[in-house]
């Protein structure tokens, strides 16, 4: 008889609450868990005390067990330190991707197995299913359009896919989820979404870096691609690729941040046309659909969560992937992820190097 026991990550929000409800309605034996990930309490965050209490109340209402698990040490090691290291090396991190890999689909899955659960579940907008064409379990886009979250799930272990449930995979918008919550008297039906990075109050990442790392304001030169000094900056971590406002430069044409020279402590700026790249290098790759790219492959590529997909060819060279876009792409940012799709199936992804 199939083991239909599932451990679901409960953030206290409407997505995970409705997911738990749906799983129970589908006949799964559901256990809820909330992960304690960092010190202190941040109002409205997904892992704060209020959210933990909301998750517990929902589980009590649904008559399912609820556990709070302390993963602060691991979260600091795998997510917060990576966040700091990226900014220290002029990269722009995506901490949700690291959290998914190491916490939700790493340590939480290990805890699920200890509880004899065959599945783990979250409130992500994504889909898992068995593909007859590829003869394996695949990760796919959900039907949620712009809210689809398959982009932040590219680096989950592929052997886990058949053990992951995404109950919200076939819903097209958030209002449908809220309506289910209202009809079932879930008290979080109108709870606002958490938009900021969970461990940073007010979304002020610059203040967080200054207070929690060796990264401090350090003035340097703003230069163009020829090396001409055009102004002064206040610290490399204060700038992002593609940024135009706040540079404090008066010039004959609009200037944008193109990149950084860490060794010289320089911010490099240039005209908008210099922001476009035809080819990028991707490392730390994780392939889900296939085990290796043996020959050049045509895919669609997404280079940040909010970006549209772009057509490209990819080829693997040892542990790296080279992406050649059909059309040059704007403001490609090292540290962000490039995720590859065939139609709505996630081929895999990796970290952008340059």
Q: Is the pLDDT of residue 165 over 70?
A: yes
Q: Is the pLDDT of residue 1 over 80?
A: no
pLDDT of residue 43: 46
- Average pLDDT for residues 228-256, to the nearest whole number? 94
Of 19 and 189, the one with more pLDDT: 19
What tokens were used for 70? 């302390």
pLDDT of residue 44: 45
CB 341 within 8 A of CB 309: yes
CB 34 within 8 A of CB 56: yes
Q: Which sequence positions are flagged as catalytic?
A: 99, 198
* pLDDT tens readout for residues 23-55: 999 999 999 999 988 765 454 455 556 788 999
Query: What φ, ψ does residue 156 adopt, rounded to 5°?
Result: -75, 150
pLDDT of residue 190: 87
Q: Is the pLDDT of residue 79 over 80?
A: yes
* pLDDT tens readout for residues 134-145: 999 999 999 998
pLDDT of residue 39: 67
Domains of the chain from N-terminus onward:
5-123+167-203 (3.40.50.620), 217-270 (2.30.30.280), 276-352 (2.40.30.10)
* pLDDT tens readout for residues 168-184: 999 998 999 999 999 99
Q: What is the mean pLDDT of the chain?
A: 93
Q: Is the pLDDT of residue 116 over 50?
A: yes
- Average pLDDT for residues 286-300, to the nearest whole number? 95
- Average pLDDT for residues 234-263, to the nearest whole number? 94
What's the pTM value of the predicted model, to 2 decimals? Answer: 0.93
- Average pLDDT for residues 292-319, to the nearest whole number? 95
């Amino acid at each position: 008889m199939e083991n239909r026991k599932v451990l679901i990550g409960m953030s206290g929000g409407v997505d995970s609450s409705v997911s738990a409800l749906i799983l129970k309605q589908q006949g799964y034996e559901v256990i809820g868990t909330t992960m304690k990930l960092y010190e202190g309490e941040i109002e409205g965050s997904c892992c704060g005390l209020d959210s933990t209490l909301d998750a517990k109340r929902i589980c009590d209402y649904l008559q399912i067990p609820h556990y709070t698990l302390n993963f602060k040490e691991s979260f600091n090691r795998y997510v917060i330190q990576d966040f700091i290291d990226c900014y220290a090396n002029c990269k722009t991190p995506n901490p949700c991707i690291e959290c998914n890999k190491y916490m939700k689909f790493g340590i939480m899955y290990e805890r699920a197995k200890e509880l004899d659960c065959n599945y783990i579940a979250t409130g992500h907008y994504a889909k898992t299913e068995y593909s007859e064409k590829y003869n394996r379990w695949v990760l796919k886009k959900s039907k949620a359009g712009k809210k689809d979250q398959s982009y932040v799930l590219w680096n989950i272990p592929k052997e886990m896919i058949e053990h992951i449930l995404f109950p919200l995979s076939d819903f097209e918008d958030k209002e449908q989820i809220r309506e289910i919550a209202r009809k079932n008297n879930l008290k979080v039906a109108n709870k606002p979404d958490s938009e900021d990075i969970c461990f940073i109050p007010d979304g002020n990442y610059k203040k967080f870096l200054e207070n929690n790392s060796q990264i401090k304001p350090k003035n340097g030169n703003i230069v163009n691609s020829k090396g001409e000094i055009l102004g002064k900056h206040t610290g490399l971590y204060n700038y992002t690729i593609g940024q135009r406002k706040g540079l404090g430069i008066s010039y004959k044409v609009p200037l944008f941040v193109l990149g950084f020279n860490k060794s010289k402590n320089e911010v490099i700026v240039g005209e908008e046309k210099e922001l476009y790249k035809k080819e990028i290098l991707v490392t730390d790759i994780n392939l889900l659909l296939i085990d290796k790219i043996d020959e050049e492959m045509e895919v669609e590529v997404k280079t940040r969560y909010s970006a549209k997909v772009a057509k490209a060819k990819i080829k693997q060279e040892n542990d790296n992937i080279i992406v050649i876009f059909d059309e040059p792409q704007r403001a490609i940012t090292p540290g962000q992820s490039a995720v590859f799709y065939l139609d709505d199936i996630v081929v895999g992804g990796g970290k952008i190097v340059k």
